[in-house]
Amino acid sequence: MTAADDLDTITERWTTLQERAGTRPTSTWPPAMGITRLMTDEERADQAAERADTAPDAPGPRPTPVDIDVLDVMTTIETGLITAADWLASRVQRPAFKAPTGHGWSDDTHRAAVLLAAKDAADPRRWKYAGPRTAPDAAEWLALRLRDAPGPFRRLDEGERQAVAEVAASGVELLRKTLGDARRRETVPHPCPMPCGGQLVVEGGDGAPPKVLCEDCGRTWTEVPSDAA
């Protein structure tokens, strides 16, 4: 694994971390996936009624409580990555080109210079020192710098590569400790729609696409893109 791969891992698994922390209220676990489309309309209506029920022991998905330990890990990883990106950008990112003030320039030349300066300052490849910056933003930007992607930057020296690699390694280690490499496995509150009517389980949460599996007949379902998602 290179340091850039470590950064890719953080980017790819950040959503899983958010789900584990319970900070993605729109997401439910287990994921509904295609299995909901196998229910009859009556079952669907029952499930909607259950969801509307506010009794704490009501069946159906409940809101996940926020996990403070996972939030701490996320803050640590995010702070490390953003601090590293701020630091690296201050060293390798070329300051935006400044348009001349106009003395001795024709209007056309001046206008062209102003446009060029504005375009250079707004180059989306630049790291932004202010505004909302997320862990994936920083991880992606740092990975591009390690891979010498083009842009208003000079190449990193060995010391800079090493410093970014250390931040990436400690971030990915924290992420792995928190999420684990194992897939989660939970039962699904619907019988298998095949004649066996067996127990369904859902596996996922490790970054790979989740999968529903019948423990009796062994049939599996994977998520298909849908407008219901």
Q: Which residues bind Zn ion (CB under 5 A)?
A: 192, 194, 196, 198, 214, 216-217
- In order of 3, 32, 45, 170, the CA distances from 21 in angstroms are 25, 19, 30, 19
In whole angstroms, the minimum distance from the beta carbon of 223 to Zn ion comes to 18
In whole angstroms, the minimum distance from the beta carbon of 198 to Zn ion comes to 4
Closest CB to Zn ion among residues 81, 192 = 192
In whole angstroms, the minimum distance from the beta carbon of 221 to Zn ion comes to 11
Q: CB–CB of 80/171 below 8 Å? A: yes
Closest CB to Zn ion among residues 164, 214 = 214
Closest CB to Zn ion among residues 35, 168 = 35
In whole angstroms, the minimum distance from the beta carbon of 41 to Zn ion comes to 22
Closest CB to Zn ion among residues 30, 80 = 30
In whole angstroms, the minimum distance from the beta carbon of 217 to Zn ion comes to 3
In whole angstroms, the minimum distance from the beta carbon of 183 to Zn ion comes to 20
Closest CB to Zn ion among residues 70, 192 = 192
Closest CB to Zn ion among residues 67, 216 = 216
Angle between helices 3-21 and 135-146 (to 10 degrees): 170
The alpha carbon dihedral of 56, 182, 167, 145 has a sign of: negative
- In order of 55, 188, 205, the CA distances from 224 in angstroms are 32, 18, 16
Rounded CA gap, 150 and 141, in Å? Answer: 12
